[in-house]
């Protein structure tokens, strides 16, 4: 190690022996020129962003205070799904939904890739907490990275800095996250604005609580507190310690009169997650406030109530689909203090992506730095352009969003995307039936994600891409947790589908802000104020119980939205059977029983 690295370690702002020895170990492997500890202060943010501007990685956005836009290299503009691994000792523990790699072989691969990978660069040490500082379900971590952009993203996305470091010193334990762009500045090699490596890997070691990422600094390829820690490693921790780490939105729903209720929702990609998270106040006086836009950690408290916290401190989202007419609250959230990636730039110094404004600008600089007009053959912003912005800036954020105690969850909703078959909203008969609904969550989402024969893709609990262990064990964990408290204490479980279409292909439900009306019925069900009818697949709203005042939804359309076609559902049970078979021998028998019961009710 260089003399500077030795001094930086000796002058580290901690005496935690385990942390210091690990930092020395990784520094000895990667050979950075120096080490910088990120204390989470405004000065730390200023140093990082000044450096990023100087190096040409980001440019300041004139129209948005303290905000910046980065343009990645073209080969580093997406999540590295096909090179994301679970490195469990037993390959069976990774399950049917993950790519497995032998942990020792993966460590050997990383040993070669990371050797000298940080030469010429600074290694940033970012201590952080996932979840409110000191909360009963919160967990700690440290990321080592040679990307100042990743370090800056972690300062927005997590509770990073000195306060987290002090908690690590008290607890003694933390999840280890190691990241490098894989572009050492060896003799004669000039730096570039967005360094990366054609070789990319993202590996999770659930038994040792580690995440290693190489070659990419894009999104959560580099900011490892996001999906890697909060879901893949978090789900393993949750199973072992008796809680839940979930890919869910959390909302506070407050009627015009009465007490607020808290609702969690599992929303797969392309199903309107950000729109749902930021509904805001509706004309009928109901108010929908944000607690978590993407992930929820949930634990039963001493009274048997399931309480949820937001493990994140910021919102890291895909820009596409968010616009003035579709989700104005997200645009208001990113008014300042935001990092953007691969968006276009307007001539007057602002950012833009397709659909952001109702009127398309006549001229832009696209994400690759080229002149762009509406006649250009490619979109101005990359389809996976991203933003990272503080949750606290959301105009609809609930005051409880950072409460260490969490909020009591009254309902959990599984959002499906189906053009046929699945009704607008269905309430589960009980907890086990609800787990069955969540396990069979289905999505039709276009080319590449729905098989050519038109069968839907299953995405259990919207977690199949983010589990750190076997899907069958995960479903068993949900069932077992439901037996730990009385039925009267459990949240009610629901399935929704606001993507059903008519014979002409048009959506039957208006969607967007009108989805609040479906949540209203769910809350009224919890409060004992809304009627429902039993059906073979669960409880459905009475047409008169669903608020459609002012909507262009006639009685015939509403009947179609709430209909259960027995013939279509018998075909659905065949598809579900094939899916359950694919989970394998670890599938809980209770879900087989739920499937048989559904077949029997359909006749």
Mean pLDDT across the stretch 282-299? 95
Output the pLDDT for position 463.
97
pLDDT tens for each residue of 166-177 = 999 999 899 999
pLDDT at 450 exceeding the cut of 50? no
Q: Which of 8-22, 326-340, 486-500 shows the lowest per-residue confidence on average (mean pLDDT)?
A: 8-22
H or E segment and range at residue 580: helix 566-583
pLDDT digits (tens, 9 = 90+) for 344-398: 999 999 999 999 999 999 999 999 999 999 999 999 999 999 999 999 999 999 9
In this structure, the strands spanning 364-365 and 351-352 are unpaired
- pLDDT value at 452 more than 70: no
CA distance readout (Å), 476 to 279, 481, 589: 33, 9, 9
Q: Which of 102-116, 267-281, 485-499, 534-548 has the lowest mean pLDDT?
A: 267-281
Q: What is the pLDDT of residue 321?
A: 85
% pLDDT > 90, the chain: 91
The pLDDT of residue 447 is: 44
Per-residue model confidence (pLDDT) at position 454? 64
pLDDT over 80 at 445, yes or no: no
Q: Is the pLDDT of residue 203 over 50?
A: yes
- pLDDT at position 446 is 54
The backbone region for 245, taken as left when phi is positive above 0, alpha when psi lies in -120 to 50, beta otherwise, is beta
Residue 291 has pLDDT above 50, yes or no: yes
Q: What is the DSSP letter of 203?
A: E
Q: What is the mean pLDDT of the chain?
A: 95
Residue 371 pLDDT: 97
CA distance 83 to 541: 44
Per-residue tokens: 335: 């008014």
List C-alpha distances in Å: 370 to 157, 378, 416: 30, 11, 38
Give percent above pLDDT 70 in the chain: 98
Residues 6+ apart with CB under 8 A from 279: 251, 288, 396, 513, 515, 516, 519
**Residue 4: per-residue pLDDT:** 85
Residue 3's pLDDT band (cuts 50, 70, 90): confident
Q: Is 292 helix (H, G, I), strand (E, B) or coil?
A: strand
How high is the pLDDT of residue 101? 98
Q: What is the DSSP letter of 374?
A: T
* pLDDT > 50? residue 512: yes
271 flagged as catalytic:
yes
Q: What are the E-state strand segments in 115-209?
A: 122-130, 139-145, 159-160, 175-180, 201-205
Q: How far apart are CA 127 and CA 162, in angstroms?
A: 7
* Domains, the chain, with CATH or none: 3-58+79-241 (3.40.449.10), 245-313+399-564 (3.90.228.20), 315-393 (2.170.8.10)
Q: What is the pLDDT of residues 423-436, one digit of tens each?
A: 999 999 999 999 99
Q: DSSP assignment of 75-93, as one string?
A: TSSS--GGGEEE--SSHHH
> Each residue of 407-423: pLDDT tens digit?
999 999 999 999 999 99
Instruction: Assess whether pLDDT exceeds 80 at residue 453.
Output: no
Exactly one of 87, 271, 394, 440 is catalytic; name it. 271
Instruction: Give yes or no for residue 449 having a pLDDT over 60.
Output: no
**Neighbour-count burial of 189, counting CB atoms closer than 10 A to its CB (0-12 exposed, 13-18 middle, 19+ buried):** exposed
H or E segment to which residue 406 belongs? none
Q: What is the mean pLDDT of residues 536-557?
A: 94
Extract the runs of DSSP E, i.e. beta strands, from 416-541: 425-427, 442-443, 457-458, 492-496, 532-535, 538-541
Candidate from 4-8, 73-77, 272-276, 329-333 with smallest mean pLDDT: 4-8
Helix (H, G, I), strand (E, B) or coil at 563: coil
């Amino acid at each position: 190690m260089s003399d500077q690295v030795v001094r930086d370690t000796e002058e580290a702002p901690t005496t935690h022996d385990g942390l210091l020895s690990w930092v020395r170990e990784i520094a000895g492997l990667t050979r950075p020129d120096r080490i910088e500890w990120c204390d989470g202060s405004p000065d730390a943010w200023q140093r990082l962003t000044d450096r990023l501007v100087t190096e040409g990685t980001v440019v300041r956005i004139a129209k948005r205070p303290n905000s910046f836009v980065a343009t990645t290299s073209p080969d580093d503009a997406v999540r590295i799904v096909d090179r994301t691994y679970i490195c469990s000792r037993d390959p069976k523990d990774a399950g049917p939904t993950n790519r497995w790699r032998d942990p020792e072989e993966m460590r050997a691969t990383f040993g070669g890739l990371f050797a000298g990978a940080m030469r010429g660069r600074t290694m940033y040490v970012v201590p952080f907490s996932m979840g409110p500082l000191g909360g009963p379900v919160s967990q700690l971590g440290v990321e080592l990275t040679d990307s100042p952009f990743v370090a800056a993203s972690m300062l927005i996305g997590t509770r990073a800095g000195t306060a987290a470091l002090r908690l690590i010193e008290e607890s003694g334990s933390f999840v280890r996250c190691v990241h490098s762009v894989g572009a050492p500045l060896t003799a004669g090699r000039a730096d570039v604005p967005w360094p990366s490596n054609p070789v990319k890997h993202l590996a999770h070691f659930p038994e040792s609580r580690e995440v290693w990422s190489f070659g990419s600094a894009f999104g959560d390829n580099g900011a490892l507190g996001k999906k890697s820690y909060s879901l893949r490693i978090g789900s393993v921790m949750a199973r072992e310690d008796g809680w839940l780490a979930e890919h869910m939105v959390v909302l506070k729903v407050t009627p015009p009169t009465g007490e607020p209720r808290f609702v969690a929702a599992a929303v797969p990609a392309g199903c309107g997650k950000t729109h749902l998270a930021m509904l805001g106040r509706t004309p009928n006086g109901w108010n929908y406030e944000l607690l978590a836009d993407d992930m929820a950690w949930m634990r039963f408290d001493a009274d048997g109530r399931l309480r949820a916290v937001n493990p994140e401190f910021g919102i890291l989202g895909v820009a596409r689909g968010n616009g003035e007419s579709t989700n104005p609250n997200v645009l208001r959230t990113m008014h300042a203090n935001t990092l953007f990636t691969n968006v276009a730039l307007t001539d007057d110094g602002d950012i833009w992506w397709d659909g952001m404004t109702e009127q398309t600008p006549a001229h832009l600089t696209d994400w690759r730095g080229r002149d762009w007009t509406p006649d250009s053959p490619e979109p101005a912003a990359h389809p996976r352009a991203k933003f990272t912005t503080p949750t606290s800036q959301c105009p609809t954020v609930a005051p409880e969003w950072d409460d260490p105690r969490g909020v009591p969850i009254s309902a959990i909703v599984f959002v499906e995307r189906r053009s046929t078959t699945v009704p607008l909203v269905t309430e589960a008969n009980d907890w086990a039936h609800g787990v069955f609904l969540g396990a069979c969550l289905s999505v039709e989402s276009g080319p590449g994600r729905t098989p050519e024969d038109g069968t839907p893709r299953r995405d259990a609990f919207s977690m199949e891409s983010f589990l750190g262990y076997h899907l069958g064990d995960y479903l068993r964990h949900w069932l077992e947790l439901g037996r730990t408290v009385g039925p009267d204490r459990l949240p009610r479980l629901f399935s929704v589908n606001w993507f059903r279409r008519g014979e002409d292909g048009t959506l039957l439900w208006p969607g967007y802000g009108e989805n609040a009306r479906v949540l209203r019925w769910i809350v009224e069900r919890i409060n004992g104020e809304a009627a429902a009818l039993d059906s073979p697949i669960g409880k459905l709203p009475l047409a008169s119980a669903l608020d459609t005042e002012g909507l262009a939804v006639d009685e015939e359309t509403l009947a179609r939205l709430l209909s259960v076609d027995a013939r279509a559902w018998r075909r659905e049970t065949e598809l579900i059977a094939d899916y359950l078979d694919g989970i394998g021998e670890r599938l809980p028998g209770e879900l087989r029983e739920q499937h048989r019961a559904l077949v029997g009710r359909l006749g």
